[in-house]
């Protein structure tokens, strides 16, 4: 399972990255020389839980299985048997499960060695479907990406998840229990569609959260951009890239299910799969739009920082311009000429009102410059900067 952590910058993620951090893992790869069909079990993988839901139009039964061999009783029946395996922490149970369902060693390898790229593979009497599911992380402000494997047979569906009780399948289970819609009327291919549709629809709440984050960042970038804003933009762009890489191959997977006619999927269900494919395209469009908005946020950030720097330089220029003539006058009268030596050696030093006159002249020059800048409208921009500073301190 890949956890995508929100609210961290790229530099911080890189500094904190270690061998246990799976945020940068995209696909599983075999070590050189590894035998095909070798199972790689993660040390922290939870032990598998086997849940069977057997249903027909008349009734539905839910059973928690103690051993994989208990599934065999249901596989030959005419009812639909959905075996949901939650957890990959036991190689023995998974191999026994493969023996019960007559799984090809490469199928079992794709199921266990996660993550695999979403795909469809036809094994004549079985159909392997690999999909990725995203959902909000219950441990914090993040989202979780998890692989779900489907093995579709004539009267059964086997699903394998990485984590127990962490999926988007609850509405499907409720539809089976309450006999809502067509799910108990149709076969395991429709159940497969229903679960895939639940996976695809699970992207929409995540994207809604990203839309709100982008709106907040737009306001922050325009009003008071900071270095934390830049970090948030980088983080947003990286997470949207992760979402895109999660949904893009699933579009190809669904297209393959629609294009390659399998005997295990009826024409009626293929129509529903086309609707699921349309949702995938819609999600891709939203992700691409958000990625473009995130990229434009960087341009707006740089423009806002540049404009703010120009305003700050304008403030400094106004202050410097006002004090330049005052400094000039103070510098001249601070040279301590002696008027007794020559009448050209600053005769103003002997004026009775010389000091007040100098202060009045300096004040008049300062006021004249202030009035000049006021008429040019410079102080309106300076007041906007002051108001922005007060909002930031709040």
Higher pLDDT, 298 or 265: 265
Confidence band of 82 (pLDDT split at 50, 70, 90): very high
Cα–Cα distance for residue pair 321/185, rounded to 1 Å: 84
| 96 and 242 within one domain | yes
> Which of 257, 277, 302 corresponds to the end of one domain?
302
| More confident of the two residues 281 and 306 | 281
Residue linked to tokens 């009102």? 353
Q: What is the pLDDT of residues 154-172, one digit of tens each?
A: 889 999 998 887 788 899 9
Domain that holds residue 367: 335-393
Full-model pTM: 0.72
243 in a structural domain: yes
Structure letter (DSSP) for residue 58: S
Our measurement of the distance from residue 245's CA atom to the centroid of its chain's CA atoms, rounded to an integer in Å, reads 11
pLDDT at position 1: 55
In a domain, residue 330? The reply is no
Least confident of 129-133, 245-249, 358-362: 358-362
Is 320 a domain residue? Answer: no
The residue among 302, 318, 343 that closes a domain is: 302
DSSP assignment letter at 18: -
Q: Judge whether residue 36 has pLDDT over 70.
A: no
pLDDT confidence of residue 189: 92
204 and 123 belong to one structural domain: yes
SS3 letters for 199-214? HHHCHHHHHHHHHHHH
* Domain count of the fold of the chain: 2
Instruction: Grade residue 27 by pLDDT with cuts at 50, 70 and 90.
Output: low
d(CA 111, CA 162) in angstroms, rounded, equals 9
Average pLDDT over the chain reads 80
**Nearest residue to 278 (alpha-carbon basis) of 168, 200, 194, 171:** 200
Closest CA to 70 of 46, 55, 50, 49: 50
Q: 63 and 177 share a domain? A: yes
DSSP single-letter state for residue 187: -
- Does the pLDDT of residue 16 top 70, yes or no? no
- Pair 190, 254 in one domain: yes
Cα separation, 196 vs 190, in Å, equals: 10
29 within some domain: yes
CB 84 within 8 A of CB 62: no
Residue the block writes with tokens 């709040």? 394
With pLDDT > 70 as the criterion, what percentage of the chain qualifies?
Answer: 84
In a domain, 354, yes or no: yes
Residue 32, pLDDT score = 61
- Read off φ and ψ for residue 39, nearest 5 degrees: -95, 130
């Amino acid at each position: 399972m890949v956890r995508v952590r929100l609210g961290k910058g790229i530099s911080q993620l890189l500094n904190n990255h270690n061998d246990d951090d799976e945020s940068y893992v995209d696909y599983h790869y075999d070590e050189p020389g590894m035998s095909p069909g070798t199972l790689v079990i993660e040390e922290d993988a939870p032990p598998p839980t086997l849940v069977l839901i057997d249903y027909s139009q008349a009734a539905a039964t839910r059973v928690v299985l103690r051993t994989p061999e208990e599934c065999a009783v249901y596989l030959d029946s005419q009812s639909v048997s959905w075996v949901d395996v939650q957890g990959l922490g036991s190689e023995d149970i998974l191999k026994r499960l493969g023996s019960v369902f007559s799984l090809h060693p490469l199928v079992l390898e794709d199921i266990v060695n996660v993550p695999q790229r979403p795909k469809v593979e036809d094994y004549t009497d079985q159909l392997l479907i690999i999909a990725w599911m995203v959902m909000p992380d219950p441990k914090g402000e993040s989202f979780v990406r998890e692989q779900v494997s489907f093995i579709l047979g004539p009267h059964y569906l086997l699903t394998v998840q990485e984590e127990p009780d962490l999926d988007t399948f609850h509405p499907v289970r409720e539809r089976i229990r309450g006999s809502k819609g067509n799910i108990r009327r149709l076969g395991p291919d429709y159940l497969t569609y229903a679960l895939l549709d639940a996976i695809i629809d699970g992207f929409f709440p995540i994207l809604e959260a990203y839309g709100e984050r982008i709106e907040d960042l737009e306001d922050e970038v325009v009003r008071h951009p900071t270095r934390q804003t830049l970090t948030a933009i980088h983080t947003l762009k990286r997470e949207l890239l992760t979402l895109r890489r999660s949904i893009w191959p699933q579009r190809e997977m669904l297209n393959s299910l629609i294009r390659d006619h399998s005997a295990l999927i009826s024409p009626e269900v293929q129509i529903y799969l086309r609707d699921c494919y349309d949702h995938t395209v819609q999600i891709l469009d939203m992700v691409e739009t958000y990625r473009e908005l995130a990229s434009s946020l960087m341009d707006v950030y740089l423009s806002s920082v540049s404009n703010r720097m120009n305003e700050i330089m304008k403030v400094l220029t106004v202050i410097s311009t006002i004090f330049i003539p005052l400094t000039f006058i103070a510098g001249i009268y601070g040279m301590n000429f002696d008027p007794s030596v020559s009448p050209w050696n600053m005769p103003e030093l002997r004026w009775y009102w010389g000091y007040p006159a100098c202060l009045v002249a300096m004040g008049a020059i300062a006021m004249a410059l202030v009035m000049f800048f006021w008429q040019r409208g410079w102080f309106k921009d300076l007041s906007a900067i002051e108001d922005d500073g007060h909002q930031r301190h709040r």
